[in-house]
Amino acid sequence: MTNTRPILEVKKLNAWFGDHHAVRDINLLVNEREVVACMGPSGCGKSTFLRCLNRLHEEVPGATVDGTVSLGGQDIYARNVDPVIIRRKIGMVFQKPNPFPALSIYENVAVGLRLAGVRNTRILNEAVEKSLRKAALWEEVKDKLKAPGLSLSGGQQQRLCMARALAVEPPVILMDEPTSALDPISTAKIEELIIELKKSVTVIIVTHNLQQAARISDRTAFFLLGELVEYDLTSKVFTNPKDTRTEQYITGRFG
Amino acid sequence: MERHFHTELRQLKDQILAMGGYVERAIEEATQALIRREPERFAKVMEAETKINQAHIDIDEHCFSLLARQAPLAADLRLILALLKINTDLERMGDQAVNISHNAKKYLEEPPVQFLLEITKMAFEVRSMVRDSLDALVKEDGQLAREVLKKDDSVDNLKNQMFRDLIALMKKDPSTIEAAIDLLLIARNLERLGDHATNIAEDVIFVTTGKDVRHKPRES
């Protein structure tokens, strides 16, 4: 945590599903190259919050957003901004590994660059290898790049999804419970990977696994009923949280 | 519904309380043996010490197991860390009570000198420090723990006063030297007991507030 330059600034963010007010007045500052963990009970709004950060929330019919999210000083909700461009800068990895079923391992990683107009094979080859290395998958797949993405194990598929997200070199990656469908060994690999990624990327991760948040994040945000209850250094939140609701949640005394 | 883990934490606190009870008894028996000249009470100190040693092992094992199985966080984590340290302090207190017995045994073989009143006062203060610090733990009462810290000063003052007076006595009447040295050692043992009780109170403040007050100037 040597660098404390803010990269993402959320101000008065509110989100609705129709009448349901799912995210309420969130203000939060994320520093460059930090890992931020978002935790809270089911339905607390943390995933919706995450999906507001790269304009995925608005894709749900009836969903609306209000407030600002600034990436490097630019509001991603400004009128002239194309959400597709934003999603290239703020990548996402989902709960269930979702490689493109019809595509090979290679094409799964290259797809983002191809969509961005890259045609040069040498550039694509280099980017695919670099991304797979960053996702700690290269050694396992370098001899079968033409095999379908779905031929990999669950943990490998999730790392493939990370490689796919990394290929377009986004400054920020969002992860929505990326290890909840994985076994402990694959989970440990993904966690190591996230810590490694911090050298170049900012990661915002939603997790139900408190120990995972404690292990990998620099800061932790605790959400409850759509509100941000506490946002502080992870070492503080997990040893001596300020708010009694945070304390009750992480010690399992909730409700 | 209370989680099974929190039931276990309560049981762990009960174990520490029981151990604290043995420590109080060991201090009581050792000092009463001295003051009332009843050497048969020394055996009771040894009995209490055996129980303290067993509790020492049991509590460490229980904490170790809870840390491994439950991966506790926040207040629960602070409590288990503090209990591990309190456990060590209580065990050392049992050893100090045994030291008092050894020194008192030798003292009772010599003609008596004065100062038993100071010993009585110190023993009383130290026992109340142990009791209050463990009460503070159970009631999660940081204020009560802070009161214990203040009492340590009065124990230290009593010891310093005894040291000055005993040295003056030895200078005046060298025939008192052996008995006086035994009392000096006992005063020193009691002072150390006060220090351990202070450690416990500091750990209780850490549990209840998350603040580390060790090695810092005391708040008045």
Q: Does A2 have pLDDT greater than 60?
A: no
Q: Do A252 and B3 touch (CB under 8 A)?
A: yes
Q: What is the structure's pLDDT at A47?
A: 95
Q: What is the structure's pLDDT at B219?
A: 62
Q: What is the structure's pLDDT at A181?
A: 87
- The answer to whether residue A210 neighbours chain B at the CB level (below 8 Å) is yes
A140 touches A156 (CB < 8 A): yes
Chain B residues within 8 angstroms (CB to CB) of chain A: 3, 5-6, 71-78, 210
Within 10 A of B19 (CB to CB), how many other CB atoms are there? 26
pLDDT mean over A109-121: 94
What is the C-alpha separation between A247 and A225, in angstroms, rounded? Answer: 16
Tokens read off for B67: 């840390």
What is the C-alpha separation between A209 and A213, in angstroms, rounded? Answer: 6
pLDDT, mean over chain A:
94
Q: Do A250 and B73 touch (CB under 8 A)?
A: yes
Q: What's the full length of chain B, in residues?
A: 220
Find the largest Cα–Cα distance for chain A: 57
Q: What is the structure's pLDDT at A4?
A: 81
CA distance, residue A171 to nearest chain B CA (Å):
32
pLDDT < 70 regions, chain B: 1, 219-220
Q: What is the structure's pLDDT at B171?
A: 96
Within 10 A of B197 (CB to CB), how many other CB atoms are there? 30
Task: Write down the pTM of the prediction.
Answer: 0.86
Q: Do A247 and B6 touch (CB under 8 A)?
A: no
Residues in chain B with CB shorter than 8 Å from the CB of A241 are 74
DSSP A109: H
B25 touches B19 (CB < 8 A): no
pLDDT mean over A128-144: 95
Q: Which residues are bridge partners to A203 per DSSP?
A: A35, A173
Percent of chain A whose predicted confidence (pLDDT) is above 70: 98
A17 touches A62 (CB < 8 A): yes
Q: What is the structure's pLDDT at B118?
A: 87
Q: What is the structure's pLDDT at A1?
A: 47
Closest partner CB to B75 (pick from A211, A214, A251):
A251
